[in-house]
């Protein structure tokens, strides 16, 4: 399938590495003008240089509402509007039983993973998307949203909330903007390194499709959902996990 994003403007959070970088690169390679955002300016500049195409960068903490507004405004000023918003940025500062988490790390997780996507969507909608029919918001959730497993339960809880938030916004912003989510399984990113690096071969062998995910696997799903090929899809979640949930993964 030939997906052409020529004339479209995309804003991707958490875009300096991993899944976000793969998404930004895939959109730019198909003609979109892409604003890359994450916390660190140098990492953003390196990513944009590698990606090429029509790109710009704006350093912003995804959990900071003022930074979100400033990035959205900079995108509109630079490229004339926003057609695609990918809420990819996330954090997981705590591992352990949910009952034992301290409030600062609890608040930070919700601030970035759940409140953040709503804030970025709010600013993108009011600054541009409400006046540009055919737009798309894609939220990056997780298959952990479907599990009550301990260890990273608060992170998973925010992703479950993000899926419901996706459905709420899909209903509220239709028909102008479609809102969908992608729920990745275990993907080879720096954020998940502690989960996959020590046991990559063993984990891959337990997955029906025989391997751990790559950032491009998630980017491919985003490319579809944000495109006109998905023009009658909104409020949905695509699970991209190599089939791991078929065997109780999550």
Domain range list for the chain? 9-186+215-237
pLDDT value of position 60: 98
Q: How many CB atoms lie within 10 A of CB 97?
A: 11
pLDDT value of position 202: 74
Contact (CB, 8 A) for 158 and 114: yes
Catalytic positions, please?
155
**DSSP 3-state of 42:** helix
pLDDT values of the chain reduced to their tens digit, one per residue, 250 residues: 679 999 999 999 999 999 999 999 999 999 999 999 999 999 999 999 999 999 999 999 999 999 999 999 999 999 999 999 999 999 999 999 999 999 999 999 999 999 999 999 999 999 999 999 999 999 999 999 999 888 899 999 999 999 999 999 999 999 999 999 999 999 987 766 666 567 777 777 788 999 889 999 999 999 999 999 999 999 999 999 999 898 776 6
Provide long-range contacts, Cβ within 8 A and 24+ apart, for 106-109.
106/154, 108/63, 109/154, 109/155, 109/158
Residues 79-96 as b/e (b if ≥16 CB within 10 A, e otherwise) read: bebbbbbbbbbbbbebee
Please state, in angstroms and rounded to a whole number, the distance separating the CA atoms of residues 92 and 152.
8
Report whether CATH 3.40.50.720 matches the domain 9-186+215-237: yes
């Amino acid at each position: 399938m030939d997906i052409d994003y020529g004339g479209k403007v995309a804003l991707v959070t958490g875009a300096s590495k991993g899944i976000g970088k793969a998404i930004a690169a895939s959109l730019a390679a198909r003609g979109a003008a892409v604003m890359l955002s994450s916390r660190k300016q140098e990492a953003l500049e390196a990513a944009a240089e590698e990606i090429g195409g029509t790109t710009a960068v704006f350093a912003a903490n995804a959990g900071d509402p003022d930074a979100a507004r400033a990035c959205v405004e900079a995108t509109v000023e630079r490229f004339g509007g926003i057609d695609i918003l990918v809420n990819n940025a996330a954090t997981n500062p705590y591992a352990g039983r949910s009952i034992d988490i301290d409030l600062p790390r609890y608040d930070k997780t919700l601030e970035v993973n759940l409140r953040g996507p709503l804030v970025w969507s709010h600013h993108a909608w009011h600054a541009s998307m409400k006046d540009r029919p055919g737009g798309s918001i894609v939220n990056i959730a997780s298959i952990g949203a479907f599990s009550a497993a301990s260890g990273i339960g608060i992170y998973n809880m925010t992703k479950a909330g993000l899926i419901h938030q996706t459905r709420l916004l899909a209903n509220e912003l239709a028909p102008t903007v479609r809102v969908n989510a992608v729920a990745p399984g275990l993907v080879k990113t720096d954020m998940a390194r502690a989960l996959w690096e020590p046991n990559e071969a063993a984990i891959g062998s337990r997955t029906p499709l025989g391997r751990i995910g790559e950032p491009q696997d998630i980017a491919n799903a985003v490319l579809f959902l944000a495109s006109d090929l998905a023009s009658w899809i909104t409020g949905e979640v695509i699970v991209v996990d190599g089939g791991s949930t078929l065997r109780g993964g999550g």
